[in-house]
Every structure is written in C-alpha cells, then in structure tokens.
Amino acid sequence: ACGEFAMRRRASLLAIVVASLLATASAQPKRDKPSGGGPGGGGAGDKPSKPNKPGAPPAEGKPPSRPGSGGSPAVGGKLAFDSATGKLKGTWAGATIPSYRAPMAAPLLGTVGYGTDSTLIYGPFEAGFGSGPRVTSASDARPPYPCKDGSTYSGYCPGGMDVKTCEETLFKTCASGTVRTELFMDECGGHANPYHYHMDPVCLYKPDDPGHSGVVGVMLDGRPLYGRHESTGTAPADLDPCGGHTGTVPAYDLWGIPEGAKIYHYHARTKPPFLLGCYGDETTSSLQHCQRLYQSGTRKCGDNAGVAMSESVEIEYDLWCPCYDSDGKQADGFFEYADDDKGGVVAAPAPPRPPGLPDGYDTWEEYKEEQDRKAEYAKRDAEKKREAEEKKKKEAEEKKKEAE
C-alpha cells in the first residue's frame, strides 16, 4: 500500500511540474519570423517603405549611407545583375524589373523607376498647375494654383513642362513672395503625396564623395541610376538625351553589380530631364533619336511653340517632349527623317487607362491627390466654422453679462 501511495505521489508531482513548464512556455512572447531576403531584401510583396521624412535629413541627423558602399536601403524586393545584358532583373517596390525594353519612350507622367529606398521616380513633367495664364481664384482647385497672394490664387504652368522651368518662370509671372514653393521640389529632389523624385535625389547618396557616384535607383528597363558624378566632382560629359551612357561603375553588392562592370547606365542631372529622358541604349546618341521615340498620340515631340505663362510672359517650349541636350535645352525644331530611317527606335504606345479611374484623371495618384486635397479643405472649412461659432457664442455671453 505504501509503495502504491508513493507512486501516486510521484505521478502527481510530475503532473504539476509538466503543467508548470507548459504554462511558462505559453507565457513567453512569440518571435516574429524573419521576412527573409536579408538587409534591404524581403519578398516581392513587401510594402515599400517611405523616406524618413520627405525633405528632411535621416533620423537623428545622420547622413544617409552611400548606396554602393555598404549602406542598406529600405526593403524593396530582390534584384540580381545579369552580366550578359548589363541589366537588373527581379522585383523592386512591387514592380517587375525590367518591364520596358530599350530604346523606348518612357511614361510622360507617373513612374519611370524606383529609388534604392523604394520611393517612386518620375520623369521631368507634372500634369500642370493653375487653370490658365490669366485666371485667378478665391479658392484652390485641381490642378493646384502655384501662387497665392493673400486670399487670391493665381499662376500657371501647362502640363508637359519640366518642374524647374515651371518654378523659375513663376518667379517672373507671380508677385514677389507669392510662389507656393511647397508644391515644388524639396532638398531631397522630391515632393507630393505619394512622395516621388523628379530631380537629383541627393538624400540617397553623398555628392561630395570621391569617385563615381553610387547607385540611387533602378529604372523600369532594368538599367541602374547613379548620382550625378562620373568621377570626383565631375559630371559625365557624354550623356545621351535619355540620360545614360556606357562606362564602368562601382560595385553594388545588394544587387550583385560587380566592381568595374562596363554597362549602359543612367546618371542624375541638375538640368532637364534630371533623371530620365527615355529608356536608352547605345543607339540613342542624339536628340533626333530621342524625339523619334515620342511620336505617338497627341503628346509628342516637334510641337515647339510659344507658351503663354501670363499676360506678359511667353516662352518657347516643346511641351511633352522630354528630350534635352547636355545643357538642358530642347531642340529648336523637330528633325525630319524618311519613313525608312527610323534608326531602330520605337515609339511607345499610349499607356492604357487604369480600369475604374474617374474621368478627368490620368492616374490613380492624381485622383488620390485631389481627394486628399479636398479632405484637407473640408477640414479647414470645418475648423473655421467652429472658430466662428465659438467667437459668436463668446460675444453673446459677454453681451449677456454686460446686460446683467
């Protein structure tokens, strides 16, 4: 009997110990599974991260690590360098790379590539600002007015004009101190919501670093985009109108680009088209080659004409033609060529309209921007109404006290 009692007691104690261990294990916090892909990697479906704060230095005032020199960009996907083609292949920021061939026209509005931080890269153009060279308004609208003097909105830039020419011209056509500079590029070369780059993304690399600038992005044709220098403090002198040339580049381990690889690649510029004029290769060596790519639809090169910017200011500009020479200037006219002399380049078809997009918009980004703007206006109006009601109520209370 004693032996049986001892066995029961040991079994009971064992059960208590097991229960205690199970309870302790269940109380431990669960560890999240790693996302995979290593630093800057991750799956193709990973949500691209936004810059720390568009227009502001990275967290804690630290300068951004130079892409290509050991820094890890935000999670964007997985790209691999193909030594046979000199292109990157895979996914980045949810996009398939490459998704355009070259030579080919790039989208005139919207995404043409992605930064190493997964931020969108756009071409040189906006859809426009204001409603006309002589139009003023008591309220903002779509597209936004680029100038504001007191309660009066004004200013105009047509769609298809590069952002730098637009902003510089507004300082001539609008009253001093009225240009809404917040609509234009910040110190990182981008703006708007969703945030995107139009100009040299200097927050993604260090322009003062010695040697060839590091990688700052990848274009949709699979070619990498580098900062603006070919060697220490010196921009490349042989960029074609697409913004690219063939030369040796520094290593970028994350994407498998080896040190000294000789490939066709793009460079950022301080002049139009800034980041991309077209998807190029070794054949896109002249303005004529670039212009030939933009000959479909109503937005095409060769329509150079006077553009009224105000009642007194008119400039010569070929709207919707992203082809510029090394000085950031457009051609005086369109180069005529025979039908059988196309130079092997192909005009890109007009992009299909996104399904379900309301009329009056070219992209879902434009639609979202206007909805956000309307919501902001509604919020401001509600705040003003609330303040007016509180002021009226306070005045009524003061009058009542005086009457008493």
> What residues does 157 pair with on adjacent strands?
129
Question: What pLDDT, on the 0 to 100 scale, is given for residue 370?
Answer: 66
Q: What is the DSSP string of 58-127?
A: PGGGPPPPPTTTT--PPP-EEEEEETTTTEEEEEETTEEE--S-SSBPPPSSSEEEEETTS-EEE-SB-S
Reference 370, options 195, 196, 193; nearest CA is: 193
Reference 198, options 153, 166, 240; nearest CA is: 166
For every one of its 404 residues, what pLDDT tens digit does the chain have, with 9 covering 90 and above? 444 544 555 555 455 444 444 444 443 333 333 232 232 222 323 333 344 433 333 333 333 333 333 333 345 789 999 999 999 999 999 899 999 999 999 999 999 999 999 999 999 999 999 999 999 999 998 789 999 999 999 999 999 999 999 999 999 999 999 999 999 999 999 999 889 999 999 999 999 999 999 999 999 999 999 999 999 999 999 999 999 999 999 999 999 999 999 999 999 999 999 999 999 998 888 899 999 999 987 888 987 778 999 999 999 999 999 999 988 998 765 444 333 344 444 444 445 556 776 665 556 766 676 677 667 767 877 888 888 899 999 999 998 888 88
| Phi-psi region at 185: left, alpha or beta (left = phi > 0; alpha = psi -120 to 50) | beta
Separation of alpha carbons 280 and 245, rounded Å: 9
Question: What pLDDT, on the 0 to 100 scale, is given for residue 73?
Answer: 36
Task: Give strand ranges (E) for 156-256.
Answer: 190-191, 196-197, 215-219, 224-226, 244-249
Question: What pLDDT, on the 0 to 100 scale, is given for residue 363?
Answer: 67
Separation of alpha carbons 113 and 42, rounded Å: 19
pTM to 2 decimal places: 0.68
Separation of alpha carbons 25 and 16, rounded Å: 14
Reference 247, options 89, 86, 360; nearest CA is: 86
Q: What single DSSP character describes residue 334? A: P
Buried b (16+ CB within 10 A) or exposed e, 202-238: bbbbbeebeebbbbbbbbbbbbbbbbbbbeeeebbee
Question: What pLDDT, on the 0 to 100 scale, is given for residue 270?
Answer: 94
Question: What pLDDT, on the 0 to 100 scale, is given for residue 24?
Answer: 42
Residue 386, H or E segment: helix 364-403
Question: What pLDDT, on the 0 to 100 scale, is given for residue 384?
Answer: 82
Amino acid at 67: P
- What's the Cα-to-Cα distance from 192 to each of 75, 140, 181, 183, rounded to whole Å? 21, 16, 12, 7
| 3-state SS assignment for residue 370 | helix
